[in-house]
Amino acid sequence: MKYMIASDIHGSAYYCRELLNAYENSGAARLILLGDILYHGPRNDLPREYAPKEVITMLNANKNQIYCVRGNCDTEVDQMVLEFPVLADYGLLALNGLTIYATHGHVYNRENLPPMQKGDILLHGHTHVLTAEDQEGVVVLNPGSVSIPKGGNPNTYAILEEQVFRVMDFEGNTVKEIKLGE
């Protein structure tokens, strides 16, 4: 099964539209959001076309296709307007034969791994920097940021299909790829 993974929309209606268009064209069965959906956060500049109310409308229209975890900028107020669960600190996913610990990344990340076994996957956002690497037997994946990329990266999302994690830009180019489960 194919999944789209994205993080850090930060209220950008422009990039939310781009993401949902890419999602529709990808054939993915689900959209996994790794937090920081509506608010831009005090450390970030306003993203392109900052319009959280439009983001709410767009995402709620796809509520039955979204799995989501809470980012450090997401609050109970966001849950009041979003029609899918957004306040879980993490999710444990068994996808395509892989064991994935999905979280935003502000608590657990490559510097502070949660309890994991060799072969497990940590999937997080938060840093706005894409990552796909093996770290002593645990694979650390970050799709980068939909709206406010950092570290010289483009605006990105990821596709998980079979055992391959591909970070994509919005022009359809593969920016980084890693084969999982080996």
Tens-level pLDDT at each residue, the chain (182 residues): 999 999 999 999 999 999 999 999 999 999 999 999 999 988 888 999 999 999 999 999 999 999 999 999 999 999 999 999 999 999 999 988 899 999 999 999 999 999 999 999 999 999 999 999 999 899 999 999 999 999 999 999 999 999 999 999 999 999 999 999 76
Domains with residue ranges and CATH for the chain: 2-179 (3.60.21.10)
Q: Which tokens sit at 144?
A: 């980068």
The values of phi and psi at residue 111, to 5°, are: -85, -20
Give residues with Cβ within 8 angstroms of 46, minimum separation 6: 40
Q: Which tokens sit at 91?
A: 């999710």
